[in-house]
Amino acid sequence: MASMDAAVTLSLTGPFARQGRDAAQGLALWAEEAGVRLTVVDDGGARAAAIRAYTGWLDAGVDLLLGPYSSGLVRAVAPLVCGAGRLLWNHGGSADDLARPGLVSLPAPASTYFDGAVDEAVACRVERLLVVRGAGPFARAVAAGAVARAAARGLDARTVDAGSPAAGHAAGGAVLVAGRFEEDVALVRLLRRRARGPAVLGAVAAGLPAFGELGAAAEGVLGPVQWWPVSRTPKVGPSGADFAARYRRRVGHEPSYVAAQAAAAGYLALAAHHLGLAAGDVPAWTTSTLLGDFALDGSWRQVGHRVTTIRWRDGRMVPLVPGPARTPASD
């Protein structure tokens, strides 16, 4: 069987370099094991660079096109790739507005990121919830989803913009932070210095291993992760536990969910190609990868996969598994 060609832009430099390098490691492991020739171009976080690269790959007829990291970059290249009748395998963008025919998204939507954190706030009987929102559609989707979840659970919630004086004042309540990694870290540090901080604290950044560099300030913080390694064998590719073990051997440290979801996109794209699935077939395809279940609805929105909520404890991430009394009635 002839070797397949795959291509992707990732931010190896620039504002998303931390996540881009993780995704590159995950895809390199997939490509090596799958026998795929992988081309990675550094987009530096720039839309023009990403568009230029994908335009060239469309002209060259590259077999598999994997999406960049960040909702903004996916939003920039999806019309180009999908408009050409090609599939774009999206591992790095989760903003709710991305869904469109041809964009095959593996991550759960951003609006669901804080479902578990909101449920934990309700279980802890806090009286108010403050969502600190960074710039851009991704942060808006995370914040809007958290507020909607809070309303459904009967919890008073409001949103403030990052940088607002109100962002640092939430004594005794719950605070959820949705911004870029560095913004989340800065606000968590600030809140941890308060004499009386929030009773429940969550941040999107807490889902990345690098968040642990905060040391004691990270303790107890909740975060969303798109992936948690389990030993269950999926229909496509290796189990999460197997992937994690292989990644550790190759890279020397634990994989982040960013690396896992990128690799999962590679395995899924290759499986679809081998099955001969056309674009119109993908929305009816239900399967599973190391990331978890995969299913799209009629609008191409990911509905099979769900975010896992973790809590930082003793310097590591631990899945938050609610007991029976804490299980939301709506779940």
Q: How many residues does the chain have?
A: 331
Select from 81, 84, 72 the least CA-distant residue to 104.
81
The burial of 137, by beta-carbon neighbours within 10 Å (0-12 exposed, 13-18 middle, 19 or more buried), is given as middle
Spatial contact of 204 and 224, defined as CB atoms under 8 Å apart: yes
Residue type, 215: G
Q: How far is CA 142 from CA 40, 100, 131, in A?
A: 29, 19, 9
Q: What is the pLDDT of residues 297-324, one digit of tens each?
A: 999 999 999 999 999 999 999 999 754 3
Per cent of the chain over pLDDT 90 is 87
* Cβ atoms of 191 and 168 closer than 8 Å: yes
Closest CA to 94 of 114, 118, 74, 79: 74
Structure tokens at 68: 């960049």
Q: Report the 10 Å Cβ neighbour count for 261.
A: 29
C-alpha–C-alpha distance, residues 111 and 113, integer Å: 6
Q: How far apart are CA 137 and CA 101, in angstroms?
A: 19
* pTM (2 d.p.): 0.87
* CA angle (131, 98, 241) in 5-degree steps: 80
Burial of 281 (0-12, 13-18, 19+ CB in 10 A): exposed
- What are the tens digits of pLDDT across the range 189-233? 999 888 788 999 999 999 999 999 999 999 999 999 999 999 999
Beta bridge partners of 64: 6
Average pLDDT over residues 135-164: 93
- Please give the class, per CATH, of domain 4-108+228-300: alpha beta
Are 4-108+228-300 and 111-225+309-326 the same fold in CATH?
yes
Residue 251, amino acid: V
| Per-residue model confidence (pLDDT) at position 163 | 78
Residue 134 zone, left/alpha/beta (φ > 0; ψ -120 to 50; rest): beta
For residues 312 and 331, give the distance between their C-alpha atoms in angstroms, rounded to a whole number. 24
User: Residue 1: pLDDT above 70?
Assistant: no
* DSSP SS3 for 315: coil
CB 256 within 8 Å of CB 23: no
Q: Is the per-residue pLDDT at 263 higher than 80?
A: yes
In what helix (H) or strand (E) does residue 247 lie, and over which residues does it extend? Answer: helix 240-251
Average pLDDT on 31-46 reads 97
CB atoms within 10 A of CB 110: 27
Q: What is the DSSP letter of 19?
A: H
Phi first, then psi, for residue 136 (nearest 5°) are 100, 160
pLDDT greater than 50 at residue 34? yes
Architecture of domain 111-225+309-326: 3-Layer(aba) Sandwich (3.40)
Return the beta strands (E) in 281-326 as ranges.
287-289, 292-294, 308-313, 316-319
Domain boundaries, the chain: 4-108+228-300, 111-225+309-326
Question: How far does CA 180 lie from the centroid of its chain?
Answer: 13
What is the model's pLDDT at position 227? 94
- pLDDT confidence tier of residue 127, bands split at 50, 70 and 90: confident
pLDDT digits (tens, 9 = 90+) for 266-297: 999 999 999 999 888 999 999 999 999 999 99
- The answer to whether residues 285 and 292 touch, using CB atoms and an 8 Å cutoff, is no
